[in-house]
Chains A and B, each alone.
Chain A
Amino acid sequence: MIDSRIPGFYRLPIDARHAEIKDRLGLTDGDLDILSNGSSLDPVRADKMVENCVGVFALPVGLGLNFQMNGRDYIVPMVVEEPSVVAAVSNMAKLVRQNGGFDADADAGIMIAQVQVVNVPDHAHAAEALLAAEAQILALANSKNPNMIARGGGAHGIEIRHFDAPYRMLVLHLLVDCVDAMGANAVNSMAEGIAPLVEELTGGQVYLRILSNLADRRCARASCRVHESALAGKGFSGAEVVEGIVQAYKFAAIDPYRAATHNKGVMNGVDAVAVATGNDWRSVEAGAHAYAARGGRYTSLTKWWRDEDYLRGEIELPMAIGTVGGSTRVHPTVGVLRKILAVDSARELAMVMAAVGLAQNMGALKALATEGIQRGHMSLHARQAALAAGVSEKLIDQVAARIIARGEIKPAAAAAIAAELEDES
Chain B
Amino acid sequence: MEIRRHVGRGAAPGKVILFGEHSVVYGQPAIAAALGHGLGATVIETGNEPRLQIPRWTGGGLSVAPNSQADAGGMDRAFAIAMRAVDLSADQRFSVTIDGELPLGVGLGSSAAFAVSLLRGLADFQRRQLSESDLLAHAQEIETLFHGNPSGLDHTVAATGRCLYFVAGERPTFETIDLKTTIPLVVAWTPRRGTTAEAVRSLRTRWTQSPSKYDRLFTAMGDISLAGRKALEAGDLAQLGHLFQENHKCLQACGVSDPSNDQMVDIALAEGALGAKLTGAGQGGAVIALCPKEPRRVVEAIAKAGFSALFTHVN
CB within 8 Å of B: which of A192-222?
Answer: 193, 197, 217-218
- Bound Cα distance A155, B9 (Å): 8
- A59 part of interface (Cβ distance < 8 Å): no
- B190 part of interface (Cβ distance < 8 Å): no
- Bound Cα distance A197, B53 (Å): 16
Q: A136-B99, A143-B40, A149-B9 given. 18 additional CB < 8 A pairs? A: A108-B1, A136-B53, A141-B40, A142-B9, A142-B11, A142-B42, A142-B117, A144-B36, A146-B38, A146-B161, A148-B11, A149-B12, A149-B40, A150-B120, A154-B9, A155-B9, A156-B9, A177-B3
Contact B97 A139 (CB under 8 A): yes
Contact B40 A156 (CB under 8 A): no
- Please give me the residue from chain B that is nearest to A175 by CB atom: B1
- B95 part of interface (Cβ distance < 8 Å): yes
Contact B3 A146 (CB under 8 A): no
* Interface size counted on chain B using CB atoms at 8 A: 32
- CB neighbours (8 Å) of A141 from chain B are 40
Contact A136 B97 (CB under 8 A): yes
- Bound Cα distance A418, B17 (Å): 93
Contact A139 B40 (CB under 8 A): yes
Chain A window 116-137, contacts with chain B (Cβ cutoff 8 Å), 1 for yes, 0 for no: 0000000000000000011110
Contact B40 A107 (CB under 8 A): no
- Bound Cα distance A75, B89 (Å): 51
- A138 part of interface (Cβ distance < 8 Å): yes
- CB neighbours (8 Å) of A156 from chain B are 3-4, 7, 9
- CB neighbours (8 Å) of A217 from chain B are 1
- Bound Cα distance A139, B100 (Å): 7
Contact B3 A138 (CB under 8 A): no
* Interface size counted on chain A using CB atoms at 8 A: 30
CB distance from B179 to the nearest CB of A (A): 13
- B37 part of interface (Cβ distance < 8 Å): yes
Q: Give the number of residue pairs across the A-B interface with Cβ within 8 Å.
A: 99
- CB neighbours (8 Å) of B39 from chain A are 139, 143, 146
- B-side interface residues toward A, CB under 8 Å? 1, 3-4, 7, 9-13, 34, 36-44, 53, 55, 95, 97-102, 113, 117, 120, 161
- Please give me the residue from chain B that is nearest to A151 by CB atom: B161
CB distance from A291 to the nearest CB of B (A): 14
- CB neighbours (8 Å) of A356 from chain B are none
Contact B40 A146 (CB under 8 A): yes
CB within 8 Å of B: which of A170-196?
Answer: 175, 177, 193
CB distance from A234 to the nearest CB of B (A): 43
- Bound Cα distance A56, B230 (Å): 32
CB distance from A133 to the nearest CB of B (A): 8
- Bound Cα distance A139, B44 (Å): 11
- Bound Cα distance A147, B102 (Å): 16
- CB neighbours (8 Å) of B102 from chain A are 143
- Bound Cα distance A329, B32 (Å): 26
CB distance from A92 to the nearest CB of B (A): 30
Contacts A136-B99, A143-B102 given; indicate if A107 touches B1 (C-beta within 8 A): yes
- Bound Cα distance A145, B9 (Å): 12
CB distance from A135 to the nearest CB of B (A): 4
- A27 part of interface (Cβ distance < 8 Å): no
